[in-house]
Amino acid sequence: MKFSVGDIVGRKSYGMDILFKIAYIDEKKGTAMLKGLDMRLLADAEISDLIHPQPDEVQQYNSHSKNAQKECIKKIYRRRIMEREHLRGRSGMAPEQFFEMPGKILHLDGDADYLDECLKVYQSLGLTAQGVFVPERDQPDAIWNLLHEHHPDILILTGHDAYLKHKKNFQDINSYRNSQFFVNATVKARQYEPGKDDLVIFAGACQSHYEALLDAGANFASSPQRVLIHALDPVFIMEKVAFTPIIETVNIYEVIKHTITGLDGVGGLETRGKFRLGLPKSPY
């Protein structure tokens, strides 16, 4: 069976549980580098283990992922309606008399396709987000200048990661494909802004070293149970941070419950929100 870069494939040995796109093929070794279609996983595979799914299998897989994404977005809009009604009751004024200033986001992503999807969702959710494609290993060197250029309230450092299958120590940072890069970038970001409530950081991808990322200074990270996380999970977490008032802390359980992956995949620390209300709204 012939395979090419860009093909959508599954792994026979894993029962085709996840669909991937081929990122690179090493003909001499007979291996391929795969990246998840919707999961932030980068995996090596024997070419002999790959199989092309049927078109209806791809359609069903994509449909399931899109439906999970849509459900998360619906929950966000339902929550915002309730928050605006609470504002009306508390102030005695209509929500349209106020203007909103959610937190600004800087998103570094090691996958250009994922970044494009995330930027579309940011726009649909009314968030101001600057996205920059930066390969994981280059993020520690790039972060300092990008922070000085954009001055964000919220920072996301993500891309691909994986726990290397031949390793046996989950606490060893060298057991992970890219966790060390996310850790180093987080450390650099904390040198720029030490305060966890002043710069809110999400760091990590699939199966990342959760404890090391939190120790480095991240507010939220993946992956507590070393499981796969959905490409949009960082977006859904930081949307809640961006729209939680600065006088309140983010309800960690609520925000993680409304991600696609849930508590096995992402977690974090008590953190103040970055949302500000303004009054009055200018007619211009």
Q: Does domain 8-53 have CATH number 2.30.30?
A: yes
> How many Å apart are CA 73 and CA 89, to the nearest integer?
25
Select the CATH number that applies to the domain covering 68-278 from these four: 3.30.70.1060, 3.40.50.2300, 1.20.950.20, 2.40.160.20.
Answer: 3.40.50.2300
Q: Domain segments of the chain: what residues?
A: 8-53, 68-278
> How many Å apart are CA 42 and CA 21, to the nearest integer?
10
pLDDT in 10s for each residue of the chain, 284 residues: 789 999 999 999 988 889 999 999 999 899 999 999 998 888 889 999 999 999 999 999 989 888 988 888 998 888 888 877 776 666 666 767 778 899 999 999 999 999 999 999 999 999 999 999 999 999 999 999 999 999 999 999 999 999 998 888 999 999 999 999 999 999 999 999 999 999 999 999 999 999 999 999 999 999 999 999 999 999 999 999 999 999 999 988 888 887 899 999 999 999 999 998 888 888 88
> How many Å apart are CA 273 and CA 220, to the nearest integer?
13
Q: Where are the alpha helices (DSSP H) in the chain?
A: 55-91, 112-124, 139-150, 179-192, 210-216, 233-243, 252-257
Identify the pLDDT of residue 241: 96
Identify the pLDDT of residue 170: 93
> How many Å apart are CA 62 and CA 37, to the nearest integer?
8
